[in-house]
Amino acid sequence: MSLFGDNLQYYRKQNNMTQEQLAERLEVSRQTVSKWEAGTSYAEMEKLLQLCDLFSCELDTLLRKNASEAEIEDNLQHRKHMREFRKWVTCGIALLIFAAAFYELMEGWGKFHESVQDTFFMIIAIIGILILVVQGLKDSDYRKKHPIIQVFYTEEEKEGFDSHFPAKIATGVGLILIGMLVVLNAERLPLPQNMNVEFYNGIFLLFVTIAVSILVYTGMHKQAYDVEEYNRENDPKVNTKNTPVAVWCGCIMLFATIIFLIAGLVFHLWEICWIVYPIGGMICGMVTLILNRQK
């Protein structure tokens, strides 16, 4: 049996297809598929491309590599990339919100000059933005090198994650609402020594930081299981309208940060401009639910 024949048989069995079913999909006879797998004949280029589309594999893998070994390697690499990507994107978005939280905590302490507070805010925010830029470039490079990934997540894995997905989303939204309760009752709550009421604005934004981190990470984790959508997003022949959760949430929180800076630095509205972050966080939650609902 040829390497192509071995790989064809492997992919066919992985997709629970008989030779008859595969032949029907390709509009050839069962005997033709049998000859391909036996290595006594070779498929035309048109059929090879159809097989690549059908099995979500690359032509080079189908013809020249050991498909089973390549799939294991691709699976491990893809899992690692998606895990690192969502971890660092979540970190970058969290830092953007934490920058505002840290500013408000310093404001609540009242012992720092405004220029010092602004400097710390900008340093933390810039680090967050740079993380998002670097991860965006890394993900783009990975997708160019690996445009097609064989579906490998099991139904048990997907169902296990889906069983916890609603609770995680509810936790993120709930933390934002709890934070809002804290800030709305800030004047009635006891203040730590040498602190003013701005301290509770910082506490509220810490709640938002944690909440948005949960929403973004959970949404990206959910998205990682949809390998078919990943393949469609990287297929130049398909005009996909779905945008990854990370891109939406990253843009939302960057926009919120821009509004926060303009309102604070230009119009000196520090006491109220923090509201853009809980609004952004709740929008992230809604976007996560909507995008994953559409799939």
Residue 236: Cβ within 10 Å count: 6
Under the banding of pLDDT at 50, 70 and 90, the label for residue 245 is low
From CA 101, how far away is CA 119, in angstroms rounded?
A: 14
The pLDDT assigned to 293 comes to 59
The pLDDT assigned to 127 comes to 94
From CA 105, how far away is CA 99, in angstroms rounded?
A: 10
The pLDDT assigned to 244 comes to 65
Residue 278: Cβ within 10 Å count: 22
Residues 103, 117 contacting (CB under 8 angstroms):
yes
Tokens of 189: 């709550």
Tokens of 228: 């078919």
From CA 96, how far away is CA 216, in angstroms rounded?
A: 13
Q: Residue 56: left if φ>0, alpha if ψ -120 to 50, beta else—which one?
A: left
140 pLDDT exceeds 90?
A: no
From CA 288, how far away is CA 286, in angstroms rounded?
A: 5
Mean pLDDT of 197-220: 89
Residue 185: Cβ within 10 Å count: 10
Residues 150, 62 contacting (CB under 8 angstroms):
no
The DSSP call for residue 92 is H
Helix (H) / strand (E) element for 250: namely helix 245-261
From CA 58, how far away is CA 55, in angstroms rounded?
A: 9
pLDDT tens-digit profile of 78-112? 889 999 999 999 999 899 889 888 988 888 887 77
Mean pLDDT of the chain: 82
From CA 218, how far away is CA 284, in angstroms rounded?
A: 11
CA angle 275, 179, 117 (to 5 degrees): 55
From CA 274, how far away is CA 235, in angstroms rounded?
A: 40
Q: Residue 173: left if φ>0, alpha if ψ -120 to 50, beta else—which one?
A: alpha
From CA 221, how far away is CA 162, in angstroms rounded?
A: 10
Under the banding of pLDDT at 50, 70 and 90, the label for residue 248 is confident
Tokens of 165: 């997905």
Under the banding of pLDDT at 50, 70 and 90, the label for residue 265 is low
pLDDT tens-digit profile of 33-55? 998 888 888 888 988 988 888 88
pLDDT tens-digit profile of 216-238? 899 889 888 888 878 777 765 55
